[in-house]
Amino acid sequence: MRLDPARLPALLSRGELPPIWLISGDEPLQLLECADAVREAARGQGYQERAVLTVEPGFDWGSLPAEGQVRSLFASRRLIELRLGERKPGREGAAVLKAWAEAPPADNLLLITCGRLDRKALSSAWCRAIDRAGALVQVWPVPPQRLPGWIGRRATALGLKLDAAACALIAERVEGNLLAARQELELLALLLDGGEADVEAVRRCVGDSARFDVFELVDAALSGDAARVARVHAGLRAEGLEPVILAWALNRELRALCRIAAGLGGGRPQAELFRENGIWSSRQQLVGAALRRHDPPMLRHMLRAAGELERQVKGAAPGDPWEHALAIAMALAGRPLRAVA
């Protein structure tokens, strides 16, 4: 069945979980969230074990049916993810996918994610077989005229009530980038702690100068420039930046780094992970440098420290959030993570 992303939550809430899913599109946030929704529903129905196959040059298509025959000692049902990225399955892959859709192996759920499929691909035998046996979800960029409404609904889900002008301002700022819109809304939710916000409140909270200064600090840390980290940190403190913005920026960056490091450890391509986490070409060199500098345990250690920073700015933990933020940023730049009283 063809399924619009907006209908996906209702289908999953009814417990309907077809044995094969194809989620395609060129809008990263919706692609990620649709796949996450299927994963969560699968876990709720007992698919406790997960295998991930990433299609790269030389991929062995025989590995997919082989995974379908695996019997686990620890879980009776398995989720198998096949990540095509921007690649096409080719003749061999198309035959394997068609055969799977026509006779899905018992106790296996296959989740396929890929880039946008053109009309020729959608009319192919393998796509039609998946359409008949499972669910085919296509995600599309949100048109500019619908973006303010999308932002308003996301804000409501975060406990915020934005007026129409505030939604329009954010839509203009992010220029169609839904990942950026989500980040703006998460920051607003932190700063405003729920409640209502008009356009002036949004301007005060996420004004361009403060936002880009914070990112300047994060980029200095990613690049390993500890001296610049100290200078930017001192400047932000002197300007009276709210520490909650600093905590938000460091937590956001470290969460993304941890996700990317975990994906790389699982054999996923770096380019795919960058795209999923909103790391655009202008920042990929910086993020790549930080990933080479820190192993996953150290990244998780810094993320825990950033969680403590977030508690400090909310008044739930003792300590100076400015000094704690500096220690985390310095650690991200390559200095030892020092304890801060």
CA distance 59 to 126: 18
Are residues 121 and 57 part of one domain? yes
* pTM, two decimal places: 0.65
E strand or H helix at 99, and its extent? helix 90-102
In a domain, 234, yes or no: yes
Are residues 214 and 182 part of one domain? no
Q: Which residue has the tokens 């825990």?
A: 304
In a domain, 338, yes or no: no
DSSP state of 146: G
The domain in which residue 188 lies consists of 144-205
pLDDT in the model for residue 206 = 61
pLDDT, one tens digit for every residue, the chain (341 residues): 888 888 888 899 898 899 999 999 988 888 989 999 999 999 999 988 888 898 888 899 999 999 888 776 666 788 999 999 888 899 999 999 999 999 999 889 999 999 888 889 999 999 999 999 999 999 988 888 889 999 999 999 888 888 888 888 888 877 777 888 888 888 888 777 767 778 887 777 665 444 447 888 999 999 999 988 998 898 888 877 888 888 989 999 999 999 999 999 988 899 889 888 878 777 899 999 999 999 999 999 999 999 999 899 888 888 899 999 999 999 999 998 876 54
Q: How many CB atoms lie within 10 A of CB 276?
A: 21
- Residue 321: exposure state from Cβ atoms within 10 A (0-12, 13-18, ≥19): buried
Among 139, 159, 179, the domain-final residue is 139
Q: What is the CATH number for 184?
A: 1.10.8.60
Among 190, 205, 220, the domain-final residue is 205
Are residues 222 and 184 part of one domain? no
Are residues 75 and 52 part of one domain? yes
Are residues 151 and 279 part of one domain? no
> pLDDT tens for residues 153-192?
999 988 888 888 888 888 887 777 788 888 888 888 877 7
Are residues 130 and 14 part of one domain? yes
Q: Which residue has the tokens 């100068």?
A: 209
CA distance 83 to 271: 13
> pLDDT tens for residues 20-63?
999 999 888 889 899 999 999 999 999 888 888 988 888 999 99
Q: How many domains does the chain have?
A: 3
